[in-house]
Amino acid sequence: MLFLHCLYYLLIDLCLRLRGAGNPLLSHIVKIVRNISLKIYWRKEAAKRSGHYKIALEEIEGYIADQKTVEDEIEARELARIIGEFLDTLTLENRVIFMRRYWFADSYKDIAEFMGFSEKNISVRLTRIREKMKQYLIEREVFV
């Protein structure tokens, strides 16, 4: 798992370095690598290990997890569509910050450096975005 975790981040880093070439397949490659890594991550023994991604999920859990969800079986794709609509309501910068945290699992420090902001600024922005997303999901009855 540790090897695959490192491989995932090495591949992400390689993709980021090569992104200047404007490869249109880049996002698809990154997506495939992420999906493979996550399948392994969700195995019981892998979930026990701490890591950036686990920390990011724990952070957002309070804003999405509820025993009283109306539709427990909402399809991942439907939820993805709703999250996508929510992302469209954000500014470019906030959308990128959200993706860097909850898709790429970057640390606050890495996001701050990437965006040219301070860590405190990133922390405040992510708090606001999470609260806004929670409200968005409540209004769409995904989170009751």
Partner 1 sequence: MNVKKFSDAMSELDTKYIDEALNYKKKAKRRNWIKWGAMAACLCFVVVGSILFNLHNLTDFNAMIGKTSVDTVAIMTSVPVDEWTAWYQQINLSEKELEKYVGDEYLKTDSRTWYFPDGVNNLKYLICKDAGDSLTLWMFISFATEEVKTYTYGDVLSIIYGVHGADDIVSITTSPFQANNTDEGKAIQKKIGTHTYTDCEAINMFYNIVKDVICYGADGEDPANETRFSYSFSTENSDKLSSGESTYGTRRISIEFKNGTILDSWKYSALSGSFFEYGGIYTEPLEENDVYALNDIFGIK
Distance of CA 35 to the CA centre of its chain: 12
CA distances, 85 to each of 20, 40, 136, 140 (Å): 28, 29, 10, 11
Closer of 7 and 131 to partner 1 (Cβ): 131
CA distances, 52 to each of 16, 17, 86, 88, 102 (Å): 18, 21, 24, 25, 10
The reply on whether position 86 binds partner 1 by CB under 8 A is no
For 107, the token pair is 């640390």
Binding-site size for partner 1 (CB under 8 A) equals: 56
The reply on whether position 31 binds partner 1 by CB under 8 A is yes
- Report the interface residues with partner 1, using CB under 8 A: 15-16, 19, 26-28, 30-31, 34-35, 38, 42, 57-58, 60-61, 64-66, 69, 72, 74, 76-77, 79-80, 83-84, 87, 89-92, 94-96, 99-100, 102-104, 114-118, 120-121, 124, 127-128, 131-132, 135, 142-143
